Amino acid sequence: MTLRFLQSQPKSHLNEASALSSGIASTVVMTLVMYHPTLNALPQVDIFRILGKEFTPVDRLALLLGSLLHLGMGVLFALSYAWLWRKGIGKVSLGWGGFLGTAHGVLASLSMNYLLKGHPRRPQAWRLSNVFVYIAAHLVFGTLVAAFYRPQR
């Protein structure tokens, strides 16, 4: 017996170009949500420094490395979402995008808490308010990936 949400969807092929472009666009918007405190009335999540300062104490280089890593991860996660949809786990819809983004945000937030505990150059404290911003930003990411992604038929 197959669960209803795992039943096969109409066959489609993974559209790597669409996943790439949706990943880039969605990551840019997600990052704006993380960095713009007046949009969310909560503290910003300095994701570029968090990621970049894992590798270097030089601030400009950390920002460059962190932004490239974050963008790359966004593309990889957009590809992952598209692959899940291709395999029949959910479907390309705003609801499923929001669900995957929220789950992704919860897991990433837990991971970030552990990453920052062992961070060699901890750039910011990780508070509950940061967790809310992080999860909300990932919800936006997942929803936008679903909105922008177009599978090949």
Residue range of the domain that includes 124: 13-148
Into how many domains does the chain fold?
A: 1
Residue 7 lies in a domain: no
The helix/strand/coil state of 152 is: strand
Residue 57 lies in a domain: yes
Query: DSSP alpha helices (H): ranges in 5-127?
Result: 16-35, 37-40, 47-52, 59-86, 94-117
Residue 3 lies in a domain: no
**In terms of C-beta density within 10 A (0-12 exposed, 13-18 middle, 19 or more buried), how is residue 67 classed?**
middle
Residue 4 lies in a domain: no
How far, in Å, CA of 91 to CA of 83, rounded?
10
Residue 42 lies in a domain: yes
Residue 78 lies in a domain: yes
Q: What is the pLDDT of residue 8?
A: 46
pLDDT in tens, the chain (153 residues): 444 544 445 556 789 999 999 999 999 999 999 888 666 567 788 899 989 999 999 999 999 999 999 999 999 999 999 999 999 999 999 999 999 999 999 999 999 888 888 888 887 778 888 888 899 999 999 999 999 999 877
Residue 67 lies in a domain: yes
Residue 120 lies in a domain: yes
**Which H/E stretch holds residue 148?**
helix 128-148
pTM: 0.86
How far, in Å, CA of 147 to CA of 153, rounded?
17
How far, in Å, CA of 145 to CA of 153, rounded?
18
3-state secondary structure 31-45: HHHHHCHHHHCCCCC
Q: What is the pLDDT of residue 35?
A: 86
Please check whether residue 137 is in contact with residue 45, taking contact to mean a CB–CB distance below 8 angstroms.
yes
